[in-house]
Amino acid sequence: MTPSQRLTSIEAQDAKQVEALLAAVHQLQTISQECLDAAMLIGTAGLELAEARQALARAERLVHEGKTAYTARQYQESWERLQAADAALRLAEETAVHAGLRHIEHELAEDYAHVFTTDARRKRPVTGIVRVLGGVVNLRDGAGVNFQVVGKAHGGDRLRLLAEAGEWYQVRTQAGLEGWVSKSTVTPEAGL
């Protein structure tokens, strides 16, 4: 094989690798755009989707540059641009999905607040100690998932009971932080 033939063979391999990457990037473009469209369809605010839109625009620019380099047989340059486009598309997809999920979570939290009956919202004093069952538990500023997280408690932590409302306990940590935890995340200490 002559040097010229070897170079042509290497170029053919490079071209095939770039073509495979280009096909994968086109598929990611479709998926990223669909994620962005879905997030908009469910009502996610445009501001929440800004990062996804920026990443998608950057990716489209990189894809164009990668195709241009491929056409000019600059396979290494094309490969690098398409790899960067791949990363930007993955970021666009991820941020669009996360923004959409945050929107859904917010909508559910608002709806969930209306599900509480007046009795469930009424706070009743209680006493005793509960222990966090495991993992990390959010302490919230009200009795429900729609309330802001004000702190954390960890598995095994002992919490002093202050009140209860429905399926929630108001507690105080040993450090003095007060918040609400779901009854399902704690267990009463013996003697309660």
Per-position pLDDT tens, the chain of length 192: 555 555 466 677 888 999 999 999 999 999 999 999 999 999 888 888 999 999 999 999 999 999 999 999 999 999 999 999 999 999 999 999 988 888 888 787 766 665 554 444 567 878 899 999 988 999 998 888 888 999 999 999 999 999 998 899 999 999 899 999 999 999 998 754
Q: State pTM to two decimals.
A: 0.56
What number does CATH give the domain 3-115?
1.20.140
Residue spans per domain, the chain: 3-115, 119-188
The correct answer on CATH 3.40.50.720 for the domain covering 119-188 is no
Domains 3-115 and 119-188 are alike in CATH topology? no
178 neighbors 162 (Cβ within 8 angstroms): yes
Residue found by looking up tokens 């996360």 in the block = 98
Q: Beta strands of the chain (E only): which ranges?
A: 124-125, 129-132, 136-140, 149-154, 158-165, 168-172, 178-182, 186-188
Q: Quick check: 153 and 131 in contact, CB under 8 A?
A: no
